[in-house]
Chain A
Amino acid sequence: MSRAKLLIDVGSTYFKVSTPSSIEQHFRDFNKDILDDLTHKCGETIHAYKKEDIYICSSANGGLSTLIIGITESFSLKYATNIAFNSGINIIDKVLYQNIQEYSVPSDLIDVVIVVGGIDSSCDIFGEPLFSYLKMLKYSNIVYVGSGKDASKIQEKIPNLVVLPNIIDHRLHIVEENLKEYLTNLYQLDIEGKEDIKNLYTITANQIYSTPYIVNQTLPFIGTKFSVVNPFILIDIGGATTDIHYSKDLVDDNIVTTNEYDRLVFKKLGVFKSKESLIFSAKNNEFVYELLTHLKVTENIFEQQSEKALQVLMQLALFLVLCKISHYKKAYINLKLLSINSIVLTGGITKVLADAQMEDIISFFYKKILNSNHNPSVVMDHNYDIWTLGLTNNKG
């Protein structure tokens, strides 16, 4: 018989502690180190377990940022974007190399720059404009995943450049594994490198993973816990980010990859840390005022600090994220939302909204935006089963 495990998820706003018999959720005290906060609130539970039986995942740092430089929209930029999203990386900007001189240089420090372009038999793709642009850019890591023929020439010019095999094969198909592994490891190192997270190793002997990675790993087994009918989307609305995991069947794109589920991160659609940008997005959506009327509130609710205001923000986040992946908004990806059979909701939203409130928003979205009476079943992960399933099944 396997020993009981203690599972801990450190989010940007809450942390959750799960034992075989209960699950606790606590609002984080941002004046305290995570470990201090955790032991202060759940010390007794934590000390009842051995380090080997404690498993932790975290999304507290919101993920890494990347800027991608590629030579075409349909291949290099598209493939690198797909891989970055699936590795839990937030894309700050995409630069089309032929116009690189026209792009403004982001002032923020970029965690990783991805340079990509050309099949292996192409050469002399990148030159001085790339090197000049990179001199102006502040970044921590840079990786080259373009034409193999150009790799050594580029490596001579760019210090600390990591060269990986091309993500575009000879048939112009995507090759995900190497870049995905590199980015996932970088994300992992970033999580482990955070002082707050490092301290957590005093209570666990197991590797600390990123929460989105754990959730994504769970999806093939979701049917063991929930009545979910494929194709489905899973929406995780939290304090800082909103993540969507979706079946590949919902995308028209002809990218052939090995994983069944992809993931999108909306970094600015959380209800606590990114509340202001959520409200900004809401005010720019022409249907939001109609939605507020439907919810029988006015925009003054944005100024309020109450349970009702939080509920409205959660409902807005859900509505906006559906808009962003629908054909109403031309985004990175548009999902075939009329084909989905289930919408699974997890994360903080399940603690704030009742089932009926979520169903109401989903039905409003389908009627107003997609002009349809389509009614996918809504599955609520009230007890964070998806996360616990992922953490207990993860083989590392």
Chain B
Amino acid sequence: MKVVIGVVGNDIHVVANRLIELSLGARGFEVFNLGVNTYLEEFFDAAVETNADVLLISSLNGEAEGWSREVKLLRSKYKTLDKLVMVIGGNLVVGTASAEEIVPKYKKYGFDLVFHQVDLNTGLDALEVYLGERKIS
């Protein structure tokens, strides 16, 4: 299964991104790491070029929210990404807010799975469960 990962916007948290790459690799995923400072267009374009199953965007400084508002509109311009699973994780807010507030907001932006301040392995476990369920259904 192919996953495109990277850190969105003006965020240079390179270590966390590398840990995600290693963890996904250890779980058998084929990972395409776009690195830090990545634009949304590049995420979607990479998903097209690689024919990825999952797009996993991370953000640690909270600026994902500004970018994520564009996700639905941008994705609608692509004709081959209907089956792409959209995941976002990290610290998804500037300041403080609970997951109960954050998760519905990001789902509305177009993400299938949202992990706000969730431990990496817990998040990836949830991703695998989600992918398993989707495959079964």
Contact = CB atoms under 8 A, between A and B. Distances in A.
Interface in B1-50: 30, 32-34, 39, 41-42, 44-46, 48-50
Given A172-B32, A172-B34, A72 B80 contact: no
A47 interface: no
B46 A122 contact: no
A118 B78 contact: no
A122 B32 contact: no
A258 B46 CA distance: 22
Contacts of B44: 72
Interface of A: 71-76, 98, 117-119, 121-123, 125, 168, 171-172
B49 A119 contact: yes
Interface of B: 30, 32-34, 39, 41-42, 44-46, 48-51, 78-80
Given A98-B78, A98-B80, A172-B34, A71 B49 contact: yes
Contacts, number: 43
Contacts of A121: 30, 50-51
A121 B80 CA distance: 16
A76 B50 CA distance: 11
A172 B45 CA distance: 11
Contacts of A122: 49-51
B48 A71 contact: yes
15 contacts: A72-B45, A73-B45, A74-B45, A75-B49, A76-B49, A98-B80, A118-B51, A119-B49, A121-B30, A121-B51, A122-B49, A123-B51, A171-B33, A172-B34, A172-B46
Contacts of A74: 39, 41-42, 45-46
Contact of A168 (B33, B41, B49, B80): B49
Contacts of B49: 71-72, 75-76, 117-119, 122, 168, 172
B80 to A, nearest CB: 7
Contacts of A125: 51
A237 to B, nearest CB: 34
Nearest to A118: B49
Contacts of A172: 32, 34, 46, 49-50
Contacts of B50: 118-119, 121-122, 172
